[in-house]
Amino acid sequence: MTTEAGPAPVDPALAVGPGAGRRWGILGASTAAQTASAVMIHGPVFLIPALVEQEGLSLVRAGLVAAAPTVGVMLALVGWGLLSDRRGERLVLLGGLGLTALLGVTAALVGSLLLLSASLVLAGAAAASTAAASGRVVVGWFAPHRRGLAMGIRQMAQPAGVGLAALTMAVVADRVDVYAALWVPTAASAAAALLVALVVLDPPRPARASRVTDNPYAHDRYLVRVHAVSVLLVLPQFVVWTFALVWLVQSQGWSTAAAGSLVAVAQLGGALGRIAVGQLSDLLGTRLTPLRWVALAAGVLMLGLGAASGLELGLAVPLLVVATVVTVADNGLAFTAVAERAGPFWSGRALGAQNTAQYAAASVVPPLAGLAIASLGYSATFALVALFPLLAVALVPVPQERGLQ
């Protein structure tokens, strides 16, 4: 059902757009763009061991450096969303990825931790462009009954990018140095920009006469509650992403290469999990019921991981892998729900607000979780983080959902 604040019907517009093959190609290019941005934004967390060992930083200070890109993302997301609403997705993707590559070159060459942190803040701000624009491409080119699957594929980019970073940046930093590792996201961003230039087209929008410009936030608290749920769920996700490799190396005695490989495999599982829950939401005709299930599972798994780690059980490592898969599964569901409710002329800003709230929370995870780990240990920190997804279970606005739009 299309609501007053929801998007206009898309099927007639899709009928005159590119064929199905081109749409899947556009999805592939937007996924590549998001993957490259994820390597730039989240890759620095895998530099933490090298920052501690090579640069002599404490775990808290290394966490601050690793969080620099997320600060940039937080500051720029709404602006990129507004530009996407007004000027289109293709322009935003090309401009953002090009800037990301240029700033990646700067970060790789500065040779100073202070300048590195500043460059990473700016690179994160540039990489934020893909968060709103690539999601709008998916919503614009796919009909409602296919969006869950399509957005799940697009959202697999984030864990795929994290996995790629774990597999490459941690090893390069360990064998060369921190700065050499930054050529990985730089090259990925340049390649993604070229792919976007060759493949991506802006999706159709309703005619000017049929524009729906009502502020979706004025009608109810649905979007605000989805934003709040996403913030609560991003906390365990980033704790696991940030400290899985460090935990495996410091507490379990794994080598950096072996730990990076396991994290990469776990992230691949997370990517596939996003596709699976997206397809499930299409089949059930609801985005938020599976979102509630994911929140509950994330809370239980983080409690289990904390207990197993504290008791030094062999089950701890498998639980870490499963927690990595489950804690990332919510993003595509929430992202699609926000885009569908906001509509074609507000979704850029709404998705920008969604991601801004998430990255605002995520940016404090590395230093604060690092402080908690230093004070309380890994097991207690994992268990405490479980409280956030358990709180999210009650906040998911399932009764306010209107079905697929």
Q: Residue 7 domain-assigned?
A: no
Provide the pLDDT confidence category of residue 2 given band limits of 50, 70 and 90.
very low
Give yes or no for a contact between 65 and 117, defined as CB atoms under 8 angstroms apart. Answer: yes
Say which amino acid occupies 386. Answer: A
pLDDT of residue 172: 92
Q: How many domains does the chain have?
A: 1
- Does any domain span residue 5? no
Confirm whether 1 is domain-assigned. Answer: no
- pLDDT above 70 covers what percent of the chain? 90
Regarding predicted confidence, which is higher, 156 or 405? 156
The answer as to whether 188 is a domain residue is: yes
What are 185-213's pLDDT values in tens digits? 999 999 999 999 998 888 776 655 444 55
> Please, are residues 370 and 182 in contact by the beta-carbon 8 Å criterion?
no
Q: Is 146 exposed, middle or buried (0-12, 13-18, 19+ CB in 10 A)?
A: middle
SS3 10: coil
In a domain, 81, yes or no: yes
Alpha helices in 142-205, H assignment, sequence order: 144-155, 157-175, 178-181, 183-199
pLDDT in the model for residue 233: 94
User: Each residue of 106-133: pLDDT tens digit?
Assistant: 999 988 889 999 999 999 999 998 876 7
- Print the domain residue range for 172: 15-207+217-400
Structural domain includes residue 232: yes
DSSP string, 49-66: HHHHHHH---HHHHHHHH
Q: Is the whole-model pTM more than 0.75? A: no
**Digit-coded pLDDT (tens) for 297-307:** 999 999 999 99
d(CA 308, CA 3): 47
The residue-averaged pLDDT of 98-109 equals 94
Q: Identify the CATH number of the domain in which residue 249 sits.
A: 1.20.1250.20
Asked, for residue 174, whether it belongs to a domain, the answer is yes
pLDDT of residue 196: 92
pLDDT score, position 71:
86
- Residue given tokens 């690539």 in the structure block: 134
Calculate Rg over the CA atoms of the chain.
20
Residues 6 or more apart whose CB falls under 8 angstroms from that of 297 comprise: 326
Whether 275 contacts 153, CB under 8 Å: yes
Choose the weakest-confidence range: 74-83, 105-114, 256-265, 345-354: 345-354
9 inside domain = no
**Confidence at 148, pLDDT banded by 50, 70, 90:** confident
What band does 272 get if pLDDT is binned at 50, 70 and 90?
Answer: confident
Place of tokens 């920008």: 352
- Check pLDDT > 50 for residue 10: no
Give the mean pLDDT of the chain: 84
